[in-house]
Amino acid sequence: MFVILPFLRRKSAALALMLFLVSACTSPHNNFTPISTPHKFTPTPMPLTLTQISSDPYTNSTSQHKTEVEPGTFSFGNTIVAAFKAGRFYKGGASNIGWATSINGGLTWTYGFLPGTTWGMPKTTADRASGLGGQPLVQPNGTVIVPIIVFTSSSTIENIAAFQSNDGGESWSSNVLITRSDYHHPKGGMRVPFPFPSAAIDRSGNVYVVWPDCRFETGCSANDLVLSASSNGKTWLAVQRIPIDPVDSGVDHFLPGLAVDPSTSGSTGHLVLVFYYYPKANCNSSTCLLEVGSTSSTDGGNTWSLTNHLAGPMKLSWLASTSQGAMVGDYISTSFSNGKAYPIFAAATAPAGKVFDEAMFTVSGGIT
């Protein structure tokens, strides 16, 4: 049975309130333009620096320190809010949920850790589907669209799908198929179990969804990041490959974090996509090197910039260890503030003895 709680793990109650406020302030006009075959424009990538926004303060022996993983973010005007795990346990969970907030468009940050939470009763979709990794997006008319992975009855095949609510979350539709997923599991034993989608919405209510997919690569040997979009959550455009690297380059891309500038829409939509990647997909636990990059589009996903390198290379042994592999999170998140995108992601350097050095970072000054 599918319940609504899986996607709520990505958003705190405060984030949900901010999401509602954004929906009330966005324009009702819809000028959605179908995505053509993506291609690159080639401005010179700008050098970027990182700002650490939090650090795991815990010392209990039952979890790993210092580790922070699995961020989610939301923004409204000058305010950016992030939430993430701190002190990851090997078998699941963490010592606490941390938060970091900027109220001046990413110039400075404060952070802390939650004292506790309360949740409402779970609700199912109309078809009682089972899935993970959903992300709720609110259109100007109040419709909530949730792109998500939905499992088939065999639980071995994942579909990228979406469901929606027209009554503020009191009831939910059946799932609509976007596409069947073709996923290359990254090597090295890293925890990337599913092709979780990352979704964002523009001013007019057009929804964009990005996920890792290997359908364009020979023998499904590595993942590209691919894109689909919809103006209503019911009909979706054909899947398009985002040309971060050439086909069959041997680069493996995964864990995307997509954001759309909420002041833009349609053919002038400003998209920023941040992601992890292996420069060489064919690696093992000792040789895999993890990096973080970004690319952007200013025409609604029709063309994309060259990759900016943000962080890494990182050895997998520098990351929190879990029962499903080395971990930075099952997803990352990016949000816009005043025309600039602020990704929040885990990055690590070599541990000092048995103490890790994995924390939350953003890009100083944001990404344009």
**158-208 pLDDT, tens per residue?**
899 999 999 999 999 999 999 999 999 999 999 999 999 999 999 999 999
Separation CA 52–CA 350 (nearest Å): 16
Neighbouring CB atoms inside 10 A of 202's CB total: 28
The domains of the chain are located at 5-363
Longest CA–CA span in the chain (Å) reads 56
Is-contact 236 242, C-beta < 8 A? no
State the CATH architecture for 5-363: 5 Propeller (2.115)
pLDDT value at residue 48: 87
Separation CA 15–CA 125 (nearest Å): 22
Separation CA 195–CA 243 (nearest Å): 18
Is-contact 311 361, C-beta < 8 A? yes
Query: If pLDDT is split at 50, 70 and 90, which confidence band does 348 have?
Result: very high
pLDDT value at residue 4: 40
Q: CA separation (Å) from 225 to 88, 198, 260, 332?
A: 27, 10, 16, 14
What is the arithmetic mean of pLDDT over 289-314?
A: 97
Separation CA 245–CA 98 (nearest Å): 34
Is a pLDDT exceeding 60 seen at residue 6? no
Is a pLDDT exceeding 60 seen at residue 30? no
What is the arithmetic mean of pLDDT over 265-283?
A: 97
pLDDT value at residue 36: 53
Burial class (CB in 10 A: 0-12, 13-18, 19+), 91: exposed
pLDDT value at residue 154: 61
Higher pLDDT, residue 300 or 8:
300
76-128 residue pLDDT tens: 999 999 999 999 999 889 999 999 999 999 999 999 999 866 767 889 999 99
Is a pLDDT exceeding 50 seen at residue 5? no
Residue identified by tokens 């320190």 is 65
Is-contact 342 106, C-beta < 8 A? yes
**Nearest Cα to 160, choosing from 129, 197, 126, 124?**
197
Token output for 67: 């580790």
Is-contact 293 244, C-beta < 8 A? yes
pTM of this prediction?
0.85
CA atoms within 13 A on the CB side of 150: 25
What is the arithmetic mean of pLDDT over 341-365?
A: 96
pLDDT value at residue 27: 38
Query: If pLDDT is split at 50, 70 and 90, which confidence band does 46 have?
Result: low
Mean of the per-residue pLDDT values of the chain: 88
